[in-house]
Amino acid sequence: MTRTLGVLIFPDFQILDAAGPIAAFEIAARYVPGAYEIKVMARHPGPVASSSRALMVAEPLCSEPLHTLMVAGGEGTRGPALCQDTLAWVSAAAATAQRTTSVCSGAYVLAEAGLLDGRRATTHWQRCPDFARRYPKVRLEPDRIFVRDGDVWTSAGITAGIDLSLALIADDLGEEIARAVAQQLVVYHRRPGGQSQFSALLEMGGQGGRFAALLDWMRERMAEPLGVEKLADRAAMSPRHFARAFAAETGMTPAKAVERLRLETARERVEGSADPIDRVAELTGFGDPERMRRAFLRAFGQPPQALRRAARA
C-alpha cells in the first residue's frame, strides 16, 4: 500500500517544517519500499522561497485524495491562513484524507479552515498566547511536542515536525520502522507526544525573559511548596497580577509551570540516575510516588519505571 503524503508550502515557509518530515518519510520508504509517495504542493507551483530564501519546488494543489495532509509553518503562514482558495482546498483535502496534520504555525491554517474547532491541538510555544486568543474553540495544549485528536495531528515548533513524522510512521508501519528511521536521522526515537516543549520556553524565561530569574529560583527549590502566593512574593507582585503576567509571558498558569518543571526535573533523574523512584518523587516535590506516576502518565504517556527501562535499553 502506497500512502500519499501531501506537504503544503507557501512563500516564507520554514524550510525545516517541510524538509524534516520529508526526510523522515523518505527514509521510511527505504525500509518499506512503496510505503510513501511524497508530494510537495503549493497554490502557485514551481520554486517556492522559504523564509531562508532557499527554494523548494512545488507541484500544483492536487485533487486526488491524500493519505496524509501536512501543512508546514513559518513566517509566511498568514498568507495561506487568509487565502480563501487555499482554505477551501485544505478543507476539501482534509475531508478525504485519512490524516490531517500541521507543523508549528501550520496549525493556524487548520484553525482558520475550522478543522481544529473543539479539538485538542498545539503549535510553537511562542505562538500559543496569540493562537489561544484567535481560536478560543480550540483546546490548545501549549506544552506538548505533538497532539493527536482523532485523525488530526498538530505539532510544536520546527524540529517537532520530525517527532510528529516518526509518530505517524509508527502508526503506519510500526515502532520498529520508526525506531530505524530515528537512528538514520540521529534523533531520539520518538519523544512521547506528551513530552513538553516547555524546556525551551523555560530556558527563555518567557518571551521577554521577564521571569527567567524566578524560574531559576524555582528550579533550585523543587522539593519545596511553590504556590502562587510564594511565587508572587518572590516576584514582588500581587498574586492576581503575577498570575496574569506569568500566563501572558509563558502561555500557562504558574501551577502548570511548577508541575512541568517538576516533571522535567523528575524525568531527568528517572532516566539519568539510580535514585529510587520514591526518592525522585521526594526530591522533585511530588512527595507521593503515586502522584508522580499519575503526572508522568498524563504528560509522557508512560510511568517512571517504563521511562527508566527505555533509557537504559
Res 311 pLDDT > 80 = no
Res 196 pLDDT > 80 = no
3-state secondary structure of 3: strand
146 CB-near residues (< 8 Å, 6+ apart):
122, 153, 154, 155, 156, 160, 163, 164, 167, 193
Topology of the domain covering 200-312: Arc Repressor Mutant, subunit A (1.10.10)
- Looking at residue 125, what is its pLDDT? 84
Q: For the chain, which residues make up each domain, given as ranges?
A: 3-185, 200-312
Say if CB 56 and CB 12 are below 8 A apart. no
250 — pLDDT class (breaks 50, 70, 90): confident
Say which DSSP state 5 is in: E
Say if CB 250 and CB 211 are below 8 A apart. yes
> Using alpha carbons only, how large is the chain's radius of gyration in Å?
20
Res 201 pLDDT > 60 = no
Share of the chain above pLDDT 90, in %: 70
158 — pLDDT class (breaks 50, 70, 90): confident
- Looking at residue 251, what is its pLDDT? 72
- Looking at residue 198, what is its pLDDT? 56
Angle at the Cα of 101 from the Cα atoms of 52 and 255, rounded to 5 degrees? 90
Q: Which CATH architecture has domain 3-185?
A: 3-Layer(aba) Sandwich (3.40)
Q: Between 146 and 5, where is the model more confident?
A: 5
- Looking at residue 202, what is its pLDDT? 55
Q: What is the pLDDT of residues 96-151, one digit of tens each?
A: 999 999 999 999 999 999 999 999 999 998 888 899 999 999 999 887 888 899 99
- Looking at residue 193, what is its pLDDT? 46
- Looking at residue 195, what is its pLDDT? 53
- Looking at residue 48, what is its pLDDT? 98
Say if CB 156 and CB 125 are below 8 A apart. yes
63-67, 132-136, 246-250, 308-312, range with the lowest pLDDT: 308-312
C-alpha cell recorded at residue 227? 504556590
C-alpha cell recorded at residue 195? 513530552
Mean pLDDT in the chain? 90
In this prediction, residues 216-225 reach a mean pLDDT of 90
Say if CB 13 and CB 74 are below 8 A apart. yes
In this prediction, residues 70-77 reach a mean pLDDT of 97
Q: What is the pLDDT of residues 23-44, one digit of tens each?
A: 999 999 999 999 999 999 999 9
In this prediction, residues 222-237 reach a mean pLDDT of 95
